[in-house]
Amino acid sequence: MQKVLNLYKKEGGTPLETIERFRIGNPKYSREKMTYAGRLDPMAEGVLIVLVGDECKNKDKYLGLDKEYEFEILWGVDTDTYDILGIPKIHGSLASVDFGGDLVKVVEGLKGKFLQKYPPFSSKTVDGKQMFQIAREGKIGEIEIPEREVEIYNFEYLGNYELIEKELLENITKRILKVKGDFRQKEILEEWNKKIPKPGFGKFVISKFKVSCSSGTYVRGIVNELGEKLGVGATTFGIKRVRVEEFKLF
């Protein structure tokens, strides 16, 4: 029986659902204590380290491992969660963005160590309550957002593709419907349907990246900062964790 498992968390699922799905397919683990080391948001997928039995006592060791992600940015839109599972705001034209120059310069500027604020919709605890609970109550402006030092080792810009309005809305709807539990899905989908412009607005630009970083780095936070620096708004369109130290995708 393995004490450290490299499982794949699917988009739309939770780490706990991933563990339960593994138990069902592997009955010998059904009575074993299991925990995950390093959560993934509902809209994220990829490598999930799961500890078994006595190895659960060593969870802190695994939480500090470096990570690598492939992710996509939807430009001209931002949300309160910094990803598509949030209430959107459309910013408009991207004509002012030089994706061949300005974007690369901003990306290069993010390499190294810096203090990163936790996203409002995160599991970080402030005064005994998780931040996402405070955000859902509309009280995030009443607290001081905590931050931590993180480090980006490498940041690669991999190019762009485009989607028209209908394609974008169909993509987002299909993926949000994968999510179970109470994540405001109904309200969020209603807002996306209201906010996505009618045909003729133009194509939405989506950029692809790869980043290697220290533990605790929020890709969603990086995306939001890029949008602010370029002045056009940005939200995380997709995240895949492809590596946690020596644990990689199969």
Catalytic residue set: 41
Contact residues for 92 (Cβ-Cβ < 8 A; gap 6+): 76
> What is the C-alpha to C-alpha distance for residues 72 and 69, in angstroms, rounded to an integer?
10
Residue spans of alpha helices (H) in the chain: 15-25, 59-63, 102-109, 131-136, 165-176, 185-195, 219-230
- φ/ψ (deg, to 5) at 113: -90, 140
Using the structure block, give the residue that is written with the tokens 């194509």: 203
Phi, psi angles (nearest 5°) of residue 199: -50, 140
Contact 14, 209 (CB under 8 A): no
Distance separating alpha carbons of residues 114 and 149, to the nearest angstrom: 6
What's phi and psi for 115, nearest 5 deg?
-90, 125
